[in-house]
A and B are shown apart, each in its own frame.
Chain A
Amino acid sequence: AQSVTQPDIHITVSEGASLELRCNYSYGATPYLFWYVQSPGQGLQLLLKYFSGDTLVQGIKGFEAEFKRSQSSFNLRKPSVHWSDAAEYFCAFSPGANNLFFGTGTRLTVIP
């Protein structure tokens, strides 16, 4: 079955610390992979996406993600978290043109 899993429901990090949000997918081939961020009461903003090529993808706001085929993972990272990064983060994958499967999200809290 096609699915995407975000094992961490809630993560708390200190401002300035590094961040890694986990994402694993289940699909028979290499899907298109995405990370979105959602601030409270807002829509989703695309942080980055992976379609093919270089497995380390750079996104907006200083985020990056690495596609690891052997681990079926697409983890999101940021070397130094800012208080404004507090939000809900969604990993998603698309096996084709007409569907996008989302993980259940990871809520990030940033403490001073």
Chain B
Amino acid sequence: SQTIHQWPATLVQPVGSPLSLECTVEGTSNPNLYWYRQAAGRGLQLLFYSVGIGQISSEVPQNLSASRPQDRQFILSSKKLLLSDSGFYLCAWTPRGRGGGYTFGSGTRLTVV
């Protein structure tokens, strides 16, 4: 069966520090991968999605970047965190092609102090 792993679960980082959140999917190949952010009291916002290794689409210009070095690995990064980067980050995957359901990881709670 397919599983999605996301870590760390919680993270407290100072302003200006770098960030690296990792997401991996097991039990499938060629998934579409996504990073979402959920700010306090708000809905989910799509940040990045990827349809293949090295292929990244950004939905919202901001302080973050994403990379997909391997087929089932998706990384969210920042060189210098801002206070506004605080939030709950969720990784998700869907099977390649239209019609797949989205499966989400358990999320990372990021607090920038």
Q: A interface vs B, CB < 8 Å?
A: 32, 34, 36, 41-46, 49, 51, 90, 92, 94, 96-105
Q: List 13 A-B contacts (CB under 8 A).
A: A41-B109, A43-B90, A43-B106, A44-B44, A44-B104, A45-B104, A46-B103, A97-B32, A97-B98, A98-B32, A99-B59, A102-B43, A102-B45
Main secondary structure of the interface of B (DSSP, over half): strand
In-complex Cβ contact of B43 among A41, A99, A105 (8 A): A105
Least CB distance, B52 to chain A, in whole angstroms: 11
In-complex Cβ contact of B42 among A97, A98, A104 (8 A): A104
Report the interface size for chain B: residues with CB under 8 A from the other chain. 29
Least CB distance, B10 to chain A, in whole angstroms: 9
Q: Does B100 contact A (CB under 8 A)?
A: yes
Q: Does B34 contact A (CB under 8 A)?
A: yes
Q: How many angstroms from the CA of A87 to the CA of B45 in the assembled complex? A: 19
Q: How many angstroms from the CA of A79 to the CA of B22 in the assembled complex? A: 40
Contact check, A98 vs B49: say whether CB atoms are below 8 A apart: yes
In-complex Cβ contact of A99 among B46, B106, B107 (8 A): B46
Chain A residues with CB below 8 A from B42, complex form: 104
Known contacts: A104-B43, A105-B43. The answer to whether A34 contacts B106 by CB under 8 A is no
Known contacts: A43-B104, A43-B106. The answer to whether A96 contacts B98 by CB under 8 A is yes
Contact check, B99 vs A32: say whether CB atoms are below 8 A apart: yes
Contact check, A43 vs B98: say whether CB atoms are below 8 A apart: no
Chain A residues with CB below 8 A from B103, complex form: 46
